[in-house]
Structure 1
Amino acid sequence: MEFKYAIPTKIYFGKNCISKNADIFAQLGKRALIVTGKQSAKACGALDDIIKVMEENKISYIIFDEIENNPSVETVEKAGKIAAQKKVDFIIGIGGGSPIDASKAIAVLAANPEVIAIDLFKNEFKKVLPIIGIPTTAGTGSEVTSYSVIVRKDLQTKVSFGTDKTYPQYAFLDARYTATLGKNTTINTAVDAFTHALEGYLANRSTVISECLSLEAIRTFGKSMRKLARFELDDNDRENLMYTSLLGGIIIAQTGVTIAHGMGYCYTFFKDIPHGKANGLIMREYLKLNYDVAKAKIDNVLNALGCESIDEFADILKDMLGEAPKLTLEEIQLYTELTQIQKGSMSNTPHEINADVIYKLWSEI
């Protein structure tokens, strides 16, 4: 047995965890950049909670609320310049994965004004401002990973970067912030969290530690899965989903993701399908592809979910997410080519992945 495991992020989970630990913010400096999207941080109350803590601790702040659903190189570069010019001491990302991912890029650019955004993906930076991650969705787990996934318009896909320095220093998870989410966002982000746990469990880089966490996350998701499909969630279910999301982030920080994520980026870039939904639409064929080489693990997953077959589980996902879009032959060829950019997710998948396998998957979804 051989493995390594580390997570530098300090995690605070529970109701009112921000106000209960307000002193932490003052330890990071006197000026912060708050990174959000246009609406969600305000609507759920998280932004108000942060502003109250800022004012109580006499910390000045700037709000940058221009993060897109899929943050672009151009947007993080703009925010990074503002953070550098205003000489902020730390970055607070509030929202789904997009604002928190963007916060990591902004924290690098603010600490290294000589670095241009397109060079983030070289992972050659030495300094990063402290980051606080506050999720308002139960999906990406970005608050406990080093990864920052950014849209590269020049490549027509999403590309990630990250080092040990880009982990958030603190993560605050309060499931109350997810209560204002609509049905589609709640389902899409929850499916994203599940796919992190599943892919981490099947990944070639999985370890005995990550596998324990994966099964815990999958079981927890399973407890609320059918209620999620009906969108009949209570506070306990929302905590279950937030916990699943947290575990999913911890898992992929150790294991990385597999080809399902690598493929899903095409759906998101070209079809504007939310990331979690994109992954979920691929699950049926993804699980069937890997069943021959990971039968015992996939059977464990189905058992943890209370399902007897891949198709039973995939039908539940279909009820949640709907049908996958029909692709033309030209789209299948393009998506196959672009998926092959994701070398890490290809090599991390149990089944051998090559252009023919990817083309077949796209053809059968």
Structure 2
Amino acid sequence: MDSIFQPKQITIGENSLQDIGKCAKKQKITRLLVIIDKFLTTEPLNYDDKVNQMIKKENIVVTFFSDYQGEPTTDHLKAALSVAKKERINGVAAIGGGSAIDIAKATALFYRDPQMEWSAITKQDSLKRLPLIAVPTTAGTGSEATKVMVITDKKKGIKMNPGHSDLIPDIAILDPVLTSSLPKQFTAYTGVDALTHAIEAFVSTKANLATDQYALTAIQIAGRSLPVVYNDGRNIPAREEMLLASTYAGIAFSNASTNLAHAAGRALGSRFHIPHGLSVAVLLPLVMRFGLQEAPERYAQIAIALGENANKDIHELAEQSIQIIEKYCDDFQIWKDALNYIHLQDLQDNIDCLVKDALNGNGILTNRIVPSSSDIRKLFLNLVEKLNKVKAIKQV
């Protein structure tokens, strides 16, 4: 028997952010902490002022917190909790990327249960937390629909990513206007990250009938919409589709797990300070090839979802699923952008550390083929080889 967990309410559409006050009132929130990315509060966006007016209409007291940057840490959480306690909040909202939503999840939890140990979160039957609303400004992490939060322990220097169904936001608001100003390259990084979530959820050993439907729909939507928003970021209907694809992919992997591309990508990103979506994207086609022979029928369905002719041979379709992703990496400058962060000799020299970090990450055991250390070593060596080829072409 399988269960699937997702937000209680998903509101989607142009200017749907205007419903944030009504959503907060529905959750019986009277004092709301809004965790918002700093750039959203600056000219000409001024979303703090706009949201303040939306929420005040419902007679809700609102406080904003944006004292964070980069990936979320325990220091950011401590600062958010300090503001939350001072303002005696009874609800949390996030407006921003995955970092904002992760800090919001942690704040909602630790405000209600300050004695909770990080290591104990996944072991609880249920968690006490404040009502939680998530408004993503990127179509990639899917955090608005997931049970996972990623926070770096500053003292230990490790990423903690506990998962629990009670961490899923109560309400997700998907407003494509908020993603329309996302730069072209970050549109690509986050979009391929969403696609990776869906692909890995579909080939995960924990996949089930429900997660398969969310994953395949996400792949289909992203396949037609990502190239559009990459070339025309102001295309609101396509931006809306990408938000939906990201949320569906989030539901899929939150219930079925990501796999080797994320385990290895997190290690790569942490070592070289690469944007998460980019670190995952450069590895995705290599990881797909590693698992191809174990689940050709699954990869064939991915190719069909991405637009290939269903009448072709399964093995031909499976191979084409990789070719399509490789073309995305070419078209979206993924390989070239990776070279802006990775010095190839450093990559070669750090492979042992990368292998160790990847093996310690989530997603290894749900891979169709559980990789050994030598498998992951070969994966990173293949990445070195690929990037060397790209570098050689770039220099011609």
Q: Specify the code of the residue in structure 2 equivalent to 1:363.
A: L
Secondary structure at the aligned position of 2:150 is classed as strand
The residue number in structure 2 matching 1:297 is: 298
The whole-number CA distance in structure 1 between the counterparts of 2:249 and 2:270 is: 23
The whole-number CA distance in structure 2 between the counterparts of 1:41 and 1:362 is: 40
**Within the alignment, does 1:310 sit opposite 2:326 as a pair?**
no
Q: Measured at CA, do residues 208 and 309 of structure 1 come closer, stay the same or move farther in structure 2, by a change above 3 Å?
A: closer
The residue number in structure 1 matching 2:177 is: 176
1:187 Cα deviation after fit: 1.3
> Are the equivalent residues in 2 in contact too, given 1:105–1:148 (CA < 8 A)?
yes
**Within the alignment, does 1:352 sit opposite 2:370 as a pair?**
yes
> Are the equivalent residues in 2 in contact too, given 1:11–1:172 (CA < 8 A)?
yes
Q: Runs of 5+ in structure 2 lacking a partner?
A: 309-319, 384-396
The residue number in structure 1 matching 2:394 is: none
> Are the equivalent residues in 2 in contact too, given 1:151–1:159 (CA < 8 A)?
yes
TM-score normalised according to structure 2 size? 0.85
> Are the equivalent residues in 2 in contact too, given 1:302–1:313 (CA < 8 A)?
no
1:155 Cα deviation after fit: 5.3
The whole-number CA distance in structure 1 between the counterparts of 2:144 and 2:327 is: 30
> Are the equivalent residues in 1 in contact too, given 2:20–2:54 (CA < 8 A)?
no
The whole-number CA distance in structure 2 between the counterparts of 1:314 and 1:230 is: 18
The residue number in structure 2 matching 1:9 is: 8
The residue number in structure 2 matching 1:24 is: 23
The residue number in structure 2 matching 1:339 is: 358
| 1:206-225 mapped onto 2 (5 Å cutoff) | 206-225=207-226
The residue number in structure 2 matching 1:322 is: 335
Q: Specify the code of the residue in structure 1 equivalent to 2:364.
A: M
1:208 Cα deviation after fit: 1.0
Secondary structure at the aligned position of 2:92 is classed as strand
TM-score normalised according to structure 1 size? 0.91
Count of residue correspondences:
360
1:13-53, CA deviations, whole angstroms, 9 ceiling, x for partnerless residues?
11222324632312432211111221136565654442122
1:133 Cα deviation after fit: 0.3
> Are the equivalent residues in 2 in contact too, given 1:90–1:131 (CA < 8 A)?
yes
1:272 Cα deviation after fit: 1.8
Q: Measured at CA, do residues 139 and 95 of structure 1 come closer, stay the same or move farther in structure 2, by a change above 3 Å?
A: same
The residue number in structure 1 matching 2:257 is: 256
Moved more, 344-353 or 2-11: 2-11
Q: Specify the code of the residue in structure 2 equivalent to 1:329.
A: Q
Identity of aligned residues (%): 24
CA RMSD of aligned residues (A): 2.1
The whole-number CA distance in structure 1 between the counterparts of 2:187 and 2:40 is: 12
The whole-number CA distance in structure 2 between the counterparts of 1:241 and 1:266 is: 26
The whole-number CA distance in structure 2 between the counterparts of 1:294 and 1:231 is: 35
The whole-number CA distance in structure 2 between the counterparts of 1:102 and 1:89 is: 16
Which of the pair has more CA radius of gyration?
Answer: 2
The whole-number CA distance in structure 1 between the counterparts of 2:32 and 2:294 is: 48
Q: Runs of 5+ in structure 1 lacking a partner?
A: none
- Structure 1 segments, 4+ long, off by >6 Å, are none
The residue number in structure 2 matching 1:246 is: 247
> Are the equivalent residues in 1 in contact too, given 2:7–2:170 (CA < 8 A)?
yes
1:151 Cα deviation after fit: 1.9
The whole-number CA distance in structure 2 between the counterparts of 1:312 and 1:134 is: 30
